[in-house]
A and B are shown apart, each in its own frame.
Chain A
């Protein structure tokens, strides 16, 4: 298993450019999510998905779009990059646990991250 993979590892954009951060997992996990990591703020949830065709917003969704056409892939799109989106982005996946009201007990697996700089 490759686990969770992300591409690219590094990216520099100019303000207003668009790009897609790729994320894939080969563990057949239903739940996938995107986080951004900023100094002093920990990891903040951008968007998440509980299965193919189903996505929802996290804490900081503005400026980002996602789609989930397959179980394996969960790309994150920046339609018009802004300097405030300079950050390290992590994709994650885990099985979806629905028992007991939804509290998940399963380990979440993270990708290696994409370091994005917007000039």
Chain B
């Protein structure tokens, strides 16, 4: 079945550091890929998405490129801020069931 694997956290960075959170997936066919973010005490909200190979999703300075050859969708940001501290979830939708499958989440803590 479909699955998502993302790097374990927590990831602790200083403000203005470069961020990479790795995400790889297993799926049949051509899934759509998503990054969701959960700020403390809140629900999840969509950060960015890509629906086909080589697409780049971007939002709020974050980027991720759909790499079918490596089955990856790594999240990057060139300069993180304290306000980026949150849990980040990689997810996919694929196949006939339309189910959104999540990775385990990566906690990012950005220190001033």
* Chain A interface residues (CB < 8 Å from chain B): 4, 31, 33, 35, 40-45, 48, 50, 58, 90, 92, 96-97, 100-105, 107-108, 110-113
Contact = CB atoms under 8 A, between A and B. Distances in A.
A45 B99 contact: yes
Contacts of A111: 43
A33 to B, nearest CB: 7
Contact of B98 (A4, A40, A96, A110): A96
Interface in B89-112: 89, 93-105
Contacts, number: 67
B49 A41 contact: no
A107 to B, nearest CB: 5
A110 B44 contact: yes
Contact of A103 (B31, B102, B105): B31
Contacts of B94: 103
Contact of A45 (B29, B32, B51, B101): B101
B42 interface: yes
Contacts of A103: 29-32, 93-95, 98
